[in-house]
Structure formats: C-alpha cells, structure tokens
Amino acid sequence: MKTLIVYAHLLAACVAVGILLIQDLALAKSKGSPLSATAIRDLTKSAEIMFIALVVLWISGLALVLLGYLENPQQYLMNEKLWAKFTVVSVLTLNGIALHYFSFPRVTSRKGLLGLPTFEQILVALTGALSSVSWLFACYLGIARPWNYTVDYSFVMFIYSGLLVAAFIVAGEVLRAMRRAEPEPPTLTEQIRLNASRKFD
C-alpha cells in the first residue's frame, strides 16, 4: 500500500512539473502577445490537470505522513525537512489560487501580457516564477533523503528563499526583454502621415 501511495505521489509531481515547464516555454514563446484560441484552450486544460495533480499530491502526501507517523510516532514528526516541504507545498497551493483568479484571466485576455498595466505585468511574472520554483523545490525535497533529520527548517527555507529571489530577478529580466522587443506605437506625426496617405490611396 505504501509503495502505491509513493508511486501516486511521485506521478502527480512529475505530471505537474512536466506540464508547468511546457506551459512556461509556450508563454515565453508568445513574447507577451495575445494568445491564440488554441493556446488558451491548452492552457485551460493544463490548469485543470495541474489542479488534479495538486489534490493527489496533498492526499498522497498526508497519507504518507500518517503511515510514517504510525511506523515511528516518536521521531517521524521531528523531521524539520518534512515541515519545510509542507510549507513549500502550502505556498504553491496559495499561489495556485492567485494564478487561477488573477494571472490566468490576464494572460488569456485579448490584451496579452504586454497590454496590461505595468504593475499587473509584474504580478503575473512573479506568480509564474513562484509557481515554477515552488513545484521544482517541493519535488527536490521529496527525494532529498540525506536532509531527513539532519537539516534545520530555517536552512531549507533559506535555500528556498534564495531560489525565489533568483527566479524573481530572472522573471523581471524576461519581462524587460519582452518590453524591449515590443514594437513601439507610431508617433503622432507618423499617424498623421499615415492617415493622409490613406486618403489619397
């Protein structure tokens, strides 16, 4: 039974991370422009699968904790890496809510990412970076057996915080590169010339 639960736990994490990386790559290729109907449909389907994966991750994770506690009730909950993992998964769950209700509607809007106000662009980029780092780090904690009972909660969270800062910087640079690549709107003089030329065409 425990082996099956571990398998379901790992499978849910692998599916979620795989979909996450594919969608991140697709959004990066869009360069902030409005998404096509097909891309929006794929993104919606991916979000639904990731929600199911997250539910399976929580259920299987809690089941593993219960089994571990029953096997070793005196020491199992003393593993500080375990509590750090729960913290990271809680963060990615709350961030998932923000992605669903804030970032997703804006990314799939007719304006596209670069058509949003600057503050909203930043928030969308930050929630995306937070999601990627949290999922990947949660998966790492799942296999970091040498950290069991050997590292402090503060150490794990320090590593996590450092990765988040690095991811936020990268997300900011990617967003800045998208803005630089965006074609500038025509000036007032150019608009007047364009309108004038159209009248005589």
Summarize pLDDT for 77-94 with one digit per residue, the tens.
899 999 999 999 999 999
Condensed to tens digits (0 to 9), the pLDDT of residues 103-134 reads 888 888 888 888 888 899 899 999 999 999 99
Q: Got the DSSP string for the chain?
A: -HHHHHHHHHHHHHHHHHHHHHHHHHHHHHTTSPPPHHHHHHHHHHHHHHHHHHHHHHHHHHHHHHHHHHH-TTTGGG-HHHHHHHHHHHHHHHHHHHIIIIIHHHHTSTT-GGGS-HHHHHHHHHHHHHHHHHHHHHHHHHH-GGGTTTS-HHHHHHHHHHHHHHHHHHHHHHHHHHHHHSPPPPPHHHHHHHHHHHHH-
For each of the chain's 201 residues, which pLDDT tens digit applies?
Answer: 888 998 999 898 888 888 888 887 877 777 778 888 888 888 888 888 889 999 999 999 999 999 999 998 888 889 999 999 999 999 999 998 998 889 888 888 888 888 888 899 899 999 999 999 999 999 999 899 999 999 999 999 999 999 999 999 999 998 888 888 765 554 555 455 555 555 555
